[in-house]
Each structure stands twice: as C-alpha cells, then as structure tokens.
Amino acid sequence: MRSGLVVAQIALTLILLAGAGLLALSFIRLLAVDPGYRTSDALVLDIALPSIWESEDRQTAGRQQAAFREELVARLRALPRVREVGIVNDLPLGADGYADGMFIEMTRPDEIQSLADFERLGPAGRERAGHAGFRVASAGYFRALGIPLVRGRLFEEGDVYDAPHVAVISESLARARWPDADPIGRYIQFGNMDGDLRAFRIVGIVGDVREASLESRPEPLFYAEHRQRPGQASSFSVVVYGTEDASVAGAAQRIVRDLDPRVPVRVRRLSEMFDDCSPSAGSVWCCSASSLPLRWCSRRWGSTASSRTSSRSARARSASAWRSAPMAATCCGG
C-alpha cells in the first residue's frame, strides 16, 4: 500500500516537473518573439480631446483637432533628448488585435461616392472586399516605435485633409490580399469606419506588429493619415521616442496644459507597459481599465476571444473618465 502511494507521488512529481519544464520553454520562446516595435526608451502620452472640441461641422472639428495634434508634436520634438514623436489612435499595446473593419478594392478612385454605389457593386463587391484593423497615424509614429518601412513611402507633409487620401498597409495585409501582386497604387474604400467615402491610395507597406499577444500572428493593418481622417483620432496616443526621463514627462504634461488646460493627459514609460505585467500573471488583468487605457499587458502572455468585448468596453470607460477629469495623474513624475 505504502509503496503504491510512493510510486504515485513520484509519478505526479515527474508530471509536474515535465509541465513546469514545458511552461519554461514556452516562456523562453515567448521572450524571443519580436513584437515588431520597440519596447523601451520612449514615453507615451494618452490624450482624449474633450467634447467641447466636437462640432456639428465635422470638417471644422477635424481641422481643429489635427491642428492641436500638429502643434503638440512640434513642441514635443523641441524637448531635450527627444528623437522622434508620432501619433496613433490605437497603440499595439492597447489594440484589440483583430481585423475590425471591412474595405473594398476599387478599380478607380471615384467608383464609390455614395452608399448606393456599394449596393450597385453586388456580388462583385463581396469578392473585392477584405478585412483589416483601421488605424489613424502620423509618419512619425512608425519612426518613433521603430516599425520599418518595407516599400513605398510613409505619410508626407502634403498629405493634408484636402489632398488625395493615402494609406499605408502592413505586410500581413499585403500578403493576404495581394499575394501575387503589388498593392502600391491601388485604391481602397474604407468609408464604413468614419463615413468619409473618399478613396485611399496605397502608398507604402510597413512591417507587421503583434497586437493581441506575442504568440498570436500579426493581424492585417490599414493606416490612414491623421490629418486626412481626423475624426478617428479624438482619443489618441503620442509616442515620444528618445527618453523616459521624468523631467521630460513633466515637460510634456506642461505642453499639453499650455495648449489647452481642459485636455486631460496621462503619461507612461513605454518600458513600464511591459515590466509592470509579470508573465506569471497569465491572463489575469494586471492593469485595470480605470488606471490604464492600455490593455495589451493583460493579454501579453495569452488572450482569448472572449476578452475582446470587455476590452472595448474598458477603452470606452477609460476615455470617458479622461474627459471628465480635470487632469489625469502621471506615473512618471514631473
């Protein structure tokens, strides 16, 4: 009887050790995965423009928001040790990590100018449709996070609201939609995201990023210029690359207050977005929605489809909290 118990205990111990070894190997492999963007040496400002910036005239409101972002970037670039500044409406660290929008490839830029034109496409429209995550960014965003330009170009100074609208896509989208063709120069309709039916022309391809978790495959992404689709970036993040110094974080906060004291801002060190979340936490939420708009750390070591709905709700609650607060506290001092 005793010998049987001893054998069972030894067997159970061996099973546990084997499981621990496999877990350790998986963890080591996970650490070796390249997320597609830098994970340190940068500050992140999370900003939500208050409702007072909204207007019945969408174009006027969009121009005002874009002007605010442009002036903010210019002042942040002038800070000491800052090498690059970029804007995006949804960081990889906080994105849902799956294709959240549908686009249609067009044969000419004026093919779709109304909702009725979508219906006229019929079955042919479905064959030309695809899915991708929709992002609004600046050219500096890719440089600030170290996302490489693979081919073509990034956004340029002339890509303003009234200019022909352009887009940059990820490698995974290029492979999925145009495996044997060149996507640069093709026209895309993505108006279902913001109601703007002006066509996008693809001008560049950038490297993939892993959004949901390190073990997941990179999702296809579509990037619009923030000045051309400003309505999608009323809540946005600013990546300030070159330093994580608390004095620079404080200076960044003061710049936002000088531009408009009603605009709340939250500052984080990019490295802390990783270091604060231990791998041992698994899928446990280590960053609460009330304290961070960045949900990626809770899923870095594993994610499930069921978390998507709650993460979107968390982002909505977080943005609402920023708008109602006079000024969010920073974790970087200053």
CA distances from 96 to 182, 205, 301 (A): 28, 21, 14
**pLDDT tens string 139-198:** 999 999 999 999 999 999 999 999 999 999 999 999 999 999 999 999 999 866 677 889
Q: How far is CA 300 from the centre of its chain?
A: 14
CB distance 234 to 49 below 8 Å: yes
Q: Helices 246-259 and 58-77: crossing angle, nearest 10°?
A: 150
**pLDDT tens string 228-272:** 988 777 889 999 999 999 999 999 999 999 999 999 999 999 988
Distance between CA atoms of residues 80 and 194, nearest Å? 37
What's the farthest any 2 CA atoms get from each other in the chain? 84
CA distances from 331 to 72, 240, 269 (A): 20, 15, 8
- Domain coordinates in residue numbering, the chain: 42-324
pTM of the model: 0.76
Nearest CA to 145 out of 100, 211, 204, 198 is that of 211
